Homo-oligomer: A and B are copies of this chain.
């Protein structure tokens, strides 16, 4: 059983109030008494009850994090960096995995409120914007604009789309396909598509795009998607800009299997450069690197800033730079 403050009082032969005073450095305590109490705490390995303290202080030092899929390399890496920064600042993470299910996401928000977390980092986006506006505590959002009072952190999606497109054009592509993410939630990631279209138009290059590439997609899901939606017209294109690396990896192998040489016949650019991509030896993907470490840190510090300064406006939004990783697929 857990050692309580009563046990400490008993062993040191003083009252519970005195032990509490020693712990909180409050009121006058003689040196001898202090030493007796501290010895008893040590001997009993007493751990102060943070739950009781957080109730008194009205702050729990717990941050809720909701992600769409914890086993996805982008989100496991993001959580890794969020945890690392939060722990430096003495905050703890309550982790929620929405599995992109609306009801689960709603239940998690309600659970986090009931558990009085100090704030929420929202990386899952299956609900309408209104559901997040009324949470009643600090929120920071990943890659989505929720409201003027909810700051967001995102990679520079527009620039990502721009440099991916320009890279393909510089490499001589004349007709480019973009496989985007799902467009329904108005995520900031959709700006990659805007930049792609404008880049192609400005350069007089033929283009087309197709909506696909879901967060939870496996290699097989992507393979079937390519087979069903793209295969019959794949030969028309000499460049493809994929909105994530797993799609780019799948397309590389699909093409190779169908005697389309990469990069001679078809050039491929991916997006993310997460642990999966970095671990890959063949192919070394050409891709857009998202600064996942800085994203995790900014999500955390933006939220803590709101929590501690009670000042949402001061937090502002954060757009982080992205860069091209020049690999073997272009």
- Are A71 and B60 touching (Cβ within 8 A)? no
Q: Does A215 contact B (CB under 8 A)?
A: no
- Are B80 and A69 touching (Cβ within 8 A)? yes
Chain B residue at minimum C-beta to C-beta distance from A256: B282
Residues of B within 8 A of A69 (CB): 80
Residues of B within 8 A of A45 (CB): 134, 136
196-225 of chain A: CB within 8 A of chain B: 218-219
Residues of B within 8 A of A261 (CB): none
Report the Cα distance A253→B279, complex, angstroms.
12
Chain B residue at minimum C-beta to C-beta distance from A111: B92
One of B83, B104, B281 near A96 (C-beta < 8 A): B83
- Are A281 and B115 touching (Cβ within 8 A)? no
Report the Cα distance A62→B64, complex, angstroms.
13
Residues of B within 8 A of A110 (CB): 47
Residues of B within 8 A of A218 (CB): 278-279
43-97 of chain A: CB within 8 A of chain B: 45, 47-52, 54-55, 60, 62, 69-71, 73, 76-77, 79-80, 83-84, 87, 92-97
Q: Does A231 contact B (CB under 8 A)?
A: no
